[in-house]
Structure 1
Amino acid sequence: MKKTISHSKYPVSLACALSGLAIVSFCIAGAMLAMFVSTGMDETIRYTGERLIQSSGANVVQTLEDYMDLPTVTNQLFARTYENSDLDALSATQVAETLKQLIRTDLFGHVSVDRVSFTTPDGNYVAFNRLDVNNKKIINMEKTSGDAHNILNVYEGSTEYSRVVETVYDFNKLVQPWLEKAEQSKKSFWSRIYPRSYNKNDRMLAYRTPVYNRAGKLLGVISSEIMPDSMSRYVCEVLPFKDNTILITGRDNNIVSSSEMPISPALLQPELASAAKEHHQAEGKRLTTKELRQLLTPEIMEKSTHQGSSAEITSGKGDKYIVHTIKYGSTDRELHGHVLLITSQDSLSGSIKKTIIAFAIKIMGLFAIVYLIAAIVLRNFFSPLNNIIGKNKDLLNMQWKPEENKRLFPEVATLDSSFFRLSHELAARTEKHRKLVEEDNLTGLPTRAGMLSKPESYEGKNLLARVHVSNAANIARVMGLEYSGRFLRSFVSRMKNILPGGTLLCRDDFGSFLAIFPEVYEQKDLMFFEDILQSLFLDIKSDGDAETERYCFIGNSGMFFGHMTQERMPEVILNSGIAVQHAEKIGNGESLVFVQEMQEQGLENIRLHEKLQHAIANDEFHIVMQPIMNLDNQSSCNEGESLIRWQTPDEGFISPIKFISLAEESGLIIPIGRWVIAQSCKQLAKFIVRGGPKDFKLHVNISAMQLQQPDFASHLFTCIQENELMNGNICVEITESTLMKHTDQIVDTLKYLRRLGVNVAIDDFGSGYSSLSYLHSFPFDCLKIDRTFVSDILTNEKNAAVVSSVLTLAKSFNVPLVAEGVETLEMLEKLQEMGCERVQGYYFSRPLPFDDFTATVNRG
């Protein structure tokens, strides 16, 4: 595992990178702004100005159309007041208050009509004017008098009691053409621009509506009037520039209104439309009356008929102006025309440029302030952060000290506090982990890791023992961890009492312990320590601890004798474990000292296991048979044992004693056993075809692991049927030790085989776990006594007595006894004398291939 990580790093810190980025961006923004102002602003300003004028023009038209809707709304309000009445006529006195209220009403904010009037069919006339005098709203009244209503009195105030300021004689409304038009058309209409009756300089534009009662009789005509000259001044309020000039043209392209000084009546004719007053501007360049007359030619006015068009005009001084044209119209579309916005290009660009520069300076100033604040914030953020980064070793050493007496940002403070807590938590967890790794909670002993972490405890020593309690795991499975814990602690107490003082004990595995003896020993001392280690399992004398007498300890030990160093300890512990494995094969309590041949044998087993797998795949096994002779008829043979042999290409013959146990340990006995059954049935079938007895009984060795396979019986019967054999042709041989493993399962399988005619023989009887109790419950057809009892039957009376007892036992169960390992005539005669009926051994024949046997088997 890597202890360090190599990162690809940037050449500067984050703080420097951010500061540099801020400075560079500020300089780039300033340079781009300066470049824009010096080079590219004109086109941008022109485009911006035109968009601004167009937007302003839309506001102008909307405002103008709202202004022209005032008379329409005023007339509708008045007409609806009397349209449902039953009056046959209205007098000026009756409508005066209504008119006065309408003129006072601000329909659109601060804007209203300039005059409202009502004329009856008989010429009676009353009107109210709205005047602005010294920024004050003043209402004055106009009213006709006399029998013929031909005298017009203009009052100073809004009532007849006010002072008359002017009188107009020969005033006759009945001769006005619009009155006749109202009576005939019966609908509202706009008038042409006309001068005020008593002031020819005031131009008026009226919207007239006939008023009828419920029966449809004409009561009179309501007129709402506005002054065209005030129209342009009103709409100028929505323009963004002070030096705009507005011209409003009518349907005949005549000038209706101008934002300049009031236009004289002479300018009302279309042919004189290009003659304008002097261009009056609060700021910017001025146009004289003569220049304006020259510039606004009939062609320019004609161009105004095209909606949204614009044109440039240049004065005699070279000043350029932009003329932008927009169409307008009243709600009823009877009053319509165009609005011309005339703007000085220099004033426009100058105003926009000043605005842009001022805005840019403000933005740059704001950026500078923001950058300054950001720099201060970054400094206050990164300074303590760098301090924290510089203390990383304190975190690794679990000695973190927090930043004190400093104001920190919440993120940095949280990071500092987290590292402080992490440092303490790491220290606590490290200690806890060390105890878990180096100390065993169950026994209180050090673990292997704990022992190896202290080289001084084993360096310089030369004797280590591995003690394995083999029944500890089974006790834990059966009795539980609590009981097994007491069991192991009792064994630790026993080791402390028996092993020499100063011996270092540590727990290596669940039931394994390591013992390092305190001194340096010689070869002759090893037998002494073997006896001590054996006494841990075999000595039943009290060792002073009554608790230990309650448990039975089964196990073995292995010793390593040699120089121990920190580098060699894994090898030392491994070799002691190998010695334990060899001791377990001898028996309980055995203790062995590791020798190199043990490791070589282990390596040989590994190599043999690999060859065994290769042998299965490459069909290196073959089957041989050794006959079993009936002493009552030695001229023929009706029974034999099938044996497996392994012939390798490079090593030759390998003994079954060597590879069968290895196959059982590794589980390879399953495929090998299936192959043996299949080949035995096949070879037996061929033997019978060649003339062998049809009732020939072939013994096949079966391991306990094979019997536990769920498909064992089905595979056996399949092989029998495929080779056209009888079930009685096969005898299953199991060892006596197999009976002690998984008895119930094995008994059920063997009972099933016997019910279907397969024989069962117990092999190596008497070699280990012989017991009369299980023989009464176990199904079998034959006993085979182990060759170790037969081999010295002539010289060993005890073995002869065992053979005699087994013969008696076989007769009591009414089954034959087969004596294995008969090699001489004297042994045969002795067994025959004792009453043995069947024998097997080299005296008659060695195991040979099936093809070497005929129906009659003679002595070899």
Structure 2
Amino acid sequence: MLRSHVRRLSLRTAIMLPFATLMLVSVALMGYAAHIGHERLLTEQSQRVIGSLTARTHDVLSHFLDAPYAILRVMRQEILFDELYTPGDMSGIESKIRALYGTAFVEQQHVSVVAFGGRNGEFVGLRRETNNGFAAMVLDKRTNGELRIHAGDTLNSPVIAQYPGYDPRSRPWYMEGVQNAGPGWTPIYSNYDEKQEITISATSPSVDRNGAFQGIIVADVKLEGISRFLGNAPDLGHGAIFIIDGNDRLVAQTGSNPILATTGGKEKGGTRLLVQESHHPLVRAAAPFLSHAGDTAREITRAEGERLFLKVTPYTDARGLDWRIGVVMNESDLIGTLRGEILTTLWLVIGIALFGVVVGLALLQLIIQPILNTAHAAKTLARGEWRHELTPGVSLRETALLVDAFNDMSVRLRRSFQELRDRIVRDPLTNLLSRSGLCETLADRKLSSPGPDGDATVVVALIGLDGFRGINNSIGHGAGDGLLTSVAHRLATHCPDGALVARVEGDEFAVVLDSPATPETMQALGQWALGLFASPFRADEDEVVVSACIGVTGGPLNQLDTIESHLRHASVALSEAKRRGPRSARVFEPDMMSKSKERTRLTAEMAPALARGEFRLVYQPVVDLTRGGRVVGAEALIRWHNPRGGMVPPDLFIPLAEESGQILDIGHWVLRTACQDIAERLHRGWPSDFDLHVNVSVRQLIQSGFVETVETALRDSGLPADNLTLEITETSLATDGMIAREALIQLRDMGVRVAIDDFGTGYSSLSYLTSLPFDGLKIDRSFVSGMTGNGQSRTIVHSIVGIARSFDVHLVAEGVETLEQAAALRDLGCERAQGYLFGRPLPLSDWTDPAHLPRLAAG
């Protein structure tokens, strides 16, 4: 009964039950807001109270320290106007000090001494005593040249101390006053008298009516008086105010704490304490933070965990003081018992929250259990255990729907993954086995051809279509898929009995024979595969002739030699076959793997080699056969000297650069460097019509920014555009010529010439010549080398010469090595040639002026 009732509850009703959880969040937010409010209040209070104390201290200290200078100004005027200074007799100044200091300035209790030191060593002054009386201090002819200190303010009072040899001119206040040449402060120092109190003095020079120096007027302020003044600050509580100099030594501080280091229990004449040596615990706690404290109250923490707030403000005046005022207060003095009240409230909030969590979890457990069961079942599905069905149990109506939906989903997933697995093991386009399907099939299949060690052996042929990308671009991707389907159908239809056929990647197919891996079997499988491509294939409505290259391998099939390793070996053999050219088949040999690794190493080293400057250019002359072999140009050829392996053949690293895409950076470097080299020679006087030939990959040509790259190279080097000829191979033009056509048009509009290299070897229709812009043809060396002994080669060369004349373009023959070849080419009408007969490729530094290079007769 209860079970059915709970099941009828709505999800909305169930969500209302754990309302305590929402309360917990609300209360937590309230507690957090209270904490933030407390912190904000504490910050504001610290800024207000400490800021007020700092401002008051600053203002009162300024007034406090202005008083000595008021006394000095009056004294200076009185001495000047009344002409009180008489060398050797201080009685006039004595009377004036007594009259002013004892009457007019009697309220300036912090000024402990007012005195005058004459230029001849005289001295007179009054010192304030603790009983509000004064002690006269005199040194003149009346005291027989010694300093005498009297118990009263006249010389008639008893002498309480006398100092023979005292000279005021050697005292810090006198020397500082002379040096300042105006009102100023002395450094903090110890008095000479029997009290030896630490003081700072205000000084001012005294001059007569003619401006002649008479002496120094001085007023002392005891640091003890400043400390007493600091202790009278209101609202300070247990806090502390302190003043320090630029060396972090105490000038004054609140309370009865001394500012001097004690020696033998005494403080007289002692060294002032550093801040960290202060006897006041709060001042000492503030010491490590002085360098980081700013003009706002900053929170610091004592080792005991007490929170303190510190503010340090600079105090300077026009007379040379450079002090800092520090105010430090603890939290309790700023906010009283408010912190304890807030903590009590926070603990109450936490208690309420914990109670709400317990209630909420108990209720949620009942509600979410079916969901947890569903999640557990989902993990089971993820492990591939499809036959897992949930039972509803005690649940809400919505969770019951969830369970039913999950059970329905698991059934659908089981069907979908089965379909997906079928797609993984079967290629959806050709319905052949995929690479994964081939591996699975061979793993499950019992092979019947044992090898020498008793393991089953297989023979694997990897078939790669030649130029499929170009075919795909020509006939369209739909027809390209049709071509792949036709190839797959022919392979599957004509493969030997028991063979497995798979499409392993793009335009690559694999055929696996359960057969002894003998050389004869592998050669036969390769030739059989090549023979399948002798006739055209259907591609939609068209027939397409396509060739293939074959890589074959074979061997045992076990844990070490898996089908993947055989496919990898076959791929290496296929790569070797493609390097030989179309319609080639190669059987895997162990040294192919080492060569493959070497190619991989060279590919990885190309970019660093370019950065290190390991590439260099050499130039092979191009001569005019009709002008006695005169040099009219040069072809830039790249060479790579690898410090690890020596010279790397261009026919090895250039194809690798093409495959890896590094030909873009290398080609850019070749173009830029060659243009710079030839431009420099032209500036030195080489013939202005000297023609630079630079080989360019079609991969460079089809890059969107290639034309701009050529423009930049010409502009930076200063080479005229009509001195540059870019050579592109016929084979690559046959594949990607239409894509590169726009770039070729722009280059020719700039004035750059375009030549088709290795003409006659591209296995392509001549019709593309009518659609491509070009300025020249280069006869491949294979035709030139055979023309003197092979009539067919001579006929081909003659045809190429006719094509060049028909298109009105220039013609260059490559690979000329004998005088007979040169003469034959000249007779056939070929104007230009290059080859070892005219010069090997050399660095440009080894060239002389082309006009003076040796000329070779062409016959």
TM-score by length of 2: 0.49
TM-score by length of 1: 0.49
Whose RCO is larger (CA < 8 A, sep 6+)?
2
Q: Report the structure number with the largest CA radius of gyration.
A: 1
